[in-house]
């Protein structure tokens, strides 16, 4: 049973109600959709919850400035930090320390997969008040309502040691009716935040597989979240998600297995998605009925199929040992690619990991051969080397596979990430102990990378010349005041009323232009300002209808006073971002 209270009502246990609440992600870019489900749940429980969904701060100074402004705007009594991904642990601690210095009275809470895994280490930091274990909806609401003993929160014994009690609140197939999106018109602090939402819908939770490289595999799900089996949410609760967000996002994104065309069709009922795009992440071979349903429902579909690794021999050996989820055989994979060809609005990417255990000279030859066959079918290849993930079997016990991990303990991971320079996205890796084999794996990895990126570039790049006819394919422009777009916590009063024109490319890249805002008055890295903003808008306007590049160059010369070389640079920039396409 979920207790639903009101702001100011007497909470269970008589403690102080903690509202408003601010929920943030621990990493750069878009935070996980988990904070949106949490904020929705809190608001239905009477707590004034806000989210900061997009984070573009790269330096410590930028983090401090942002949170000083956020705290002034929201005046939060509690800040929740989503630490889902392990490579954000150093940033989560930076945010917690920053909040402690800004206002020591703010209750700082961390949760998510990595927080649940590292609960003991995180609770030792005095900048963190609570670590929420597992599913966060009920525990976070209990904290906000002032309950004396909120469930699934790490507690301290009288001797000061942290203690993890058995989990009381575990979401499953029968108790998630209260978990769905709502209040999207109230929880966001800016239009930039709302427009940064990529449309994630979580039709289910958990994983039933034990892939050796994954920190979120079945064993860790059970240990950290108490969830023994994955599950799909009810059709009604997922339908509520679609109803809430369809008018606020340009695409839907999914990353679950086990659903069917019938299940998804029911969750889409009554919602027009014909103008939306869809990105779908899955493993195994989807039934063509599902592929057809996606193609018929959405304007464009991008399907990412995870096959574990590109060597069938290596893949089958791992599956036979129970170390890899069920993945397609090469024949099944190629048949899927062929079957998808009939759907003109559907693109396919095949992804896998290089350097998995049981590699050999023979498997490396297989890897390269399959990658070439996939590219010959004009499918995108997604590829990366094996990385260390906390709790993953190969990270915890690399010697079993004659491998070495660059990080295993909390302190080793934290030290690695704290030493990274701003903009560095590297992670600890797992490599073979045999130097000769490691060198061969690395050579193959570099060859695959080169092939994959050459193919991606060829798909994106147009051979543009003066006779090329292009058309503006960006979404219809939307206009906001600078205060609404950036939020009142970021936009100074003196420029808050200035207009921002926002467009989106076919790939979802957002372009925000503020022509009347000179960088001398105010500068923000998310904006194209002053003359630069005016020139980009003028270039897009020149291609309102299909127009040759040479005609547009002449137009920009007379209207925007651009020399031919500069005009071509602007046009090439817009083509690269897919704001201009052949027409």
What's the sign of the alpha-carbon dihedral 377, 380, 385, 391?
negative
Q: Last residue of some domain: 428, 460, 492?
A: 460
- For residues 278 and 427, membership in a common domain is answered with yes
- For residues 77 and 47, membership in a common domain is answered with yes
Confirm whether 4 is domain-assigned. Answer: no
What's the sign of the alpha-carbon dihedral 5, 6, 10, 15?
positive
| Structure confidence at residue 12 as a pLDDT band (50, 70, 90) | very low
- For residues 521 and 439, membership in a common domain is answered with no
| Structure confidence at residue 9 as a pLDDT band (50, 70, 90) | very low
CATH number at residue 141: 3.40.50.280
Q: Last residue of some domain: 426, 460, 494?
A: 460
What is the C-alpha to C-alpha distance for residues 206 and 228, in angstroms, rounded to an integer? 8
pLDDT above 90: residue 172: no
- For residues 423 and 487, membership in a common domain is answered with no
Confirm whether 189 is domain-assigned. Answer: no
Lowest-confidence pick of 5-19, 238-252, 332-346: 5-19
**Range list of β-strands (E), 343-468:** 346-354, 380-385, 403-405, 430-432
Task: Give the domain extent around 285.
Answer: 209-460
Angle between helices 564-576 and 530-542 (to 10 degrees): 80
End-to-end alpha-carbon separation of the chain, Å? 57
| Structure confidence at residue 258 as a pLDDT band (50, 70, 90) | low
The three-state secondary structure class of 29 is strand
Residues belonging to the chain: 583
Confirm whether 1 is domain-assigned. Answer: no
Lowest-confidence pick of 162-166, 187-191, 368-372, 468-472: 162-166
pLDDT above 80: residue 224: yes
Whole-model pTM?
Answer: 0.94
- For residues 400 and 524, membership in a common domain is answered with no
- For residues 417 and 513, membership in a common domain is answered with no
- For residues 300 and 322, membership in a common domain is answered with yes
The three-state secondary structure class of 279 is strand
What is the C-alpha to C-alpha distance for residues 360 and 343, in angstroms, rounded to an integer? 37
Confirm whether 193 is domain-assigned. Answer: no
What is the C-alpha to C-alpha distance for residues 323 and 47, in angstroms, rounded to an integer? 43
- Per-residue pLDDT of 266-323, as tens digits, reads 999 999 999 999 999 988 888 889 999 999 999 999 999 999 999 999 999 999 999 9
- For residues 384 and 487, membership in a common domain is answered with no
Q: What total number of domains does the chain contain?
A: 3
- For residues 229 and 373, membership in a common domain is answered with yes
- For residues 42 and 144, membership in a common domain is answered with yes
């Amino acid at each position: 049973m979920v207790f639903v209270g009101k702001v100011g009502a007497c909470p269970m246990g008589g403690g102080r109600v903690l509202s408003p609440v601010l929920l943030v992600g621990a990493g750069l870019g878009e935070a996980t959709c988990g904070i949106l489900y949490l904020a929705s749940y809190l608001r239905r429980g009477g707590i004034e919850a806000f989210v900061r969904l997009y984070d573009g701060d790269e330096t410590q100074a930028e983090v401090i400035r942002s949170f000083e402004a956020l705290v002034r705007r929201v005046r939060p009594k509690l800040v929740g930090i989503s630490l889902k991904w392990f490579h954000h642990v150093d940033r989560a601690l930076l945010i917690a320390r920053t909040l402690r210095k800004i206002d020591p009275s703010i209750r700082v809470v961390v949760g998510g997969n990595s927080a649940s895994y590292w609960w003991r280490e995180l609770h030792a930091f005095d900048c963190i008040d609570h670590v929420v274990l597992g599913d966060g909806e009920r525990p976070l609401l209990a904290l906000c309502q002032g309950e004396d003993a909120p469930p699934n929160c790490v507690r301290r014994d009288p001797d000061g040691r942290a203690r993890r009690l058995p989990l009381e609140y575990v979401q499953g197939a029968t108790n998630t009716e209260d978990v769905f999106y709502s209040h999207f018109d109230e929880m966001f602090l800016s239009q930039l935040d709302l427009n940064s939402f990529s449309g994630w819908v979580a039709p289910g939770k958990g994983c039933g597989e034990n892939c050796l490289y994954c920190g979120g595999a079945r064993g860790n799900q059970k240990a950290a979240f108490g969830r023994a089996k994955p599950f799909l949410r009810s059709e009604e609760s997922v339908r509520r998600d679609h109803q809430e967000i369809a008018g606020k996002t340009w695409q839907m994104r999914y990353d679950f297995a086990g659903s069917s065309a019938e299940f998804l069709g029911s969750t889409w009922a009554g919602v027009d998605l014909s103008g939306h795009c869809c990105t779908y992440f899955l493993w195994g071979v989807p039934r063509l009925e599902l592929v057809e349903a996606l193609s018929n429902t959405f304007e464009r579909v991008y399907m990412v199929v995870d096959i574990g690794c590109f060597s069938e021999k290596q893949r089958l050996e791992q599956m036979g040992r129970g170390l890899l989820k069920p993945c397609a055989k090469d024949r099944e994979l190629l048949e899927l690619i062929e079957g998808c060809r009939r759907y003109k609005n559907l693109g396919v990417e095949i992804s896998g990991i290089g350097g998995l255990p049981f590699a050999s000279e023979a498997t490396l030859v297989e890897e390269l051969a399959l990658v070439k066959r996939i590219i010959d079918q004009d499918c995108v290849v997604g590829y990366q080397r094996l990385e260390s993930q906390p709790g993953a079997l190969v990270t915890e016990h690399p010697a079993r596979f004659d491998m070495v991990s660059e990080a295993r303990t909390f302190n080793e991971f934290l030290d690695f990430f704290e030493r990274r320079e701003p903009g560095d996205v590297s992670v600890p890796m797992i490599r073979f102990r045999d130097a000769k084999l490691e060198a061969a794996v690395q050579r193959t990895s570099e060859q695959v990378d080169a092939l994959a990126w050459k193919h991606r570039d060829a798909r994106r790049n147009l051979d543009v010349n003066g006779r090329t006819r292009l058309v503006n394919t960006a979404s219809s422009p939307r206009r906001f005041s600078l205060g609404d777009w950036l939020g009142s916590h970021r936009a100074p009063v003196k420029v808050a009323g200035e207009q921002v024109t926002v467009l989106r490319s076919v790939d979802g890249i957002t372009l925000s232009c503020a022509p009347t805002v000179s960088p001398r008055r105010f500068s923000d890295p998310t904006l194209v300002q002053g003359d630069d903003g005016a020139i980009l808008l003028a270039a897009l306007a020149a291609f309102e209808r299909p127009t040759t590049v040479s005609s547009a160059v002449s137009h920009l010369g007379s209207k925007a006073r651009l020399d031919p070389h500069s005009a071509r640079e602007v046009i090439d920039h817009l083509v690269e971002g897919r704001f201009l396409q052949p027409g």
